[in-house]
Amino acid sequence: MDALTDILSKLNNYVIEQLNSPLPLLNALVKHTFERPGKNIRARFMIQLAHFLKESATTIDFFKTATIIELIHCGTLVHDDVIDQNPLRRNGLATHEVFGNTCSILLGDYLFTKAYLIAQELNHKALFLPDLALAAHALVEGELLQLQQKNTVITFDEYLTIIQLKTASLFGFACKSVAQIYAPELQNEFHEIGFKFGTLFQLIDDFQDYFGTAEQLGKQPGQDFKEQKMTLPLLALKKIGLEKKLSSFFQEVLTFQEAVKILSPVRQIALDLIMHYAHDCKKAVVAIHAEIFLMPLINRSLDVLLESEYLPHS
């Protein structure tokens, strides 16, 4: 077990310990939701940024900070699965499929409130709490904006706004929080790296929802099609002069398989856009000379495309 994996294992155990409750139902909900760890990509970035600063990633303040980020993230996933009625999460049944919608919504609420309680214990809470509130606000705003624009033809900039609110904001906050613990003078630089990676991460996820597998996603592909969301693959149709097709796409295209077939010609266009944002993210990493620590994480996120043979190996 390498050092990063060892820290992640200890962090996951710490998260579960913080959620221990005298309520058997709550413990059952937590056990089901957290028994299959996710990609831990936010925690991985935080740990590597701490190492970049030559600081420990196992202090109580660091573990509490990383736990808060994980609780906020998992709370949004639990709520998202109820809203979207996703049957799978992390290659297993979503919490609402086992415990029902009411319990799942209450679990999400519990995770959010627990995150705020832990935040009160931080030594750097004066810096952390305002940004926590902003990140939580952005997450909700992004979800509402996406709901408002369901089955509506939007611009690429409007799409970017949605994913930056609902995904990039939390990534940016997670990275910034490491600087708040160890190097407040680097808050802006760390936030920029996290924000840009969060944007890239969501672009890849939206691409994979049409062209990936359930194993890669940890959930069933085609959810964006089912929920009639205008995401990267659909917006790429504009690049080949098929913008008019977007306005009636979800009415005329009846199956997910048919959608994938229609979108195949713009797959490379979507990939080119992903690689543009990957380059932008890497530039922010190079700017602070953190390549050794962060480039492997960025490249690993792109590997899912290589595994699917969507990009040439080089």
Angle between helices 24-34 and 3-18 (to 10 degrees): 160
Residue 120 is predicted with a pLDDT of 97
- Per-position pLDDT tens, the chain of length 314: 688 999 999 999 999 999 999 999 999 999 999 988 888 999 999 999 999 999 999 999 999 999 999 999 999 999 999 988 888 888 789 999 999 999 999 999 999 999 999 999 999 999 999 999 999 999 999 999 998 988 788 999 999 999 999 999 999 999 999 999 999 999 999 999 999 999 999 999 999 999 988 777 777 789 899 889 999 999 999 888 888 788 888 888 889 999 999 999 999 999 999 999 999 999 999 999 999 999 999 999 998 776 654 444 33
Backbone angles phi, psi at 164, to 5 degrees: -75, -30
> Is-contact 21 27, C-beta < 8 A?
yes
Per the confidence metrics, is the pTM higher than 0.85? yes
**Domains along the sequence of the chain with CATH:** 3-307 (1.10.600.10)
Query: Residue 264 belongs to what H/E stretch?
Result: none
* Residue 64: how many other CB atoms lie within 10 Å: 20
Residue 124 is predicted with a pLDDT of 96
Per-residue 3-state assignment (H helix, E strand, C coil) for 125-148: HHHHHHHHHHHHHHHHHHHHHHHH
Residue 156 is predicted with a pLDDT of 94
Contacts of 108 (CB under 8 A, 6+ apart): 75, 76, 78, 79, 82
Residue 307 is predicted with a pLDDT of 62
Residue 1 is predicted with a pLDDT of 60
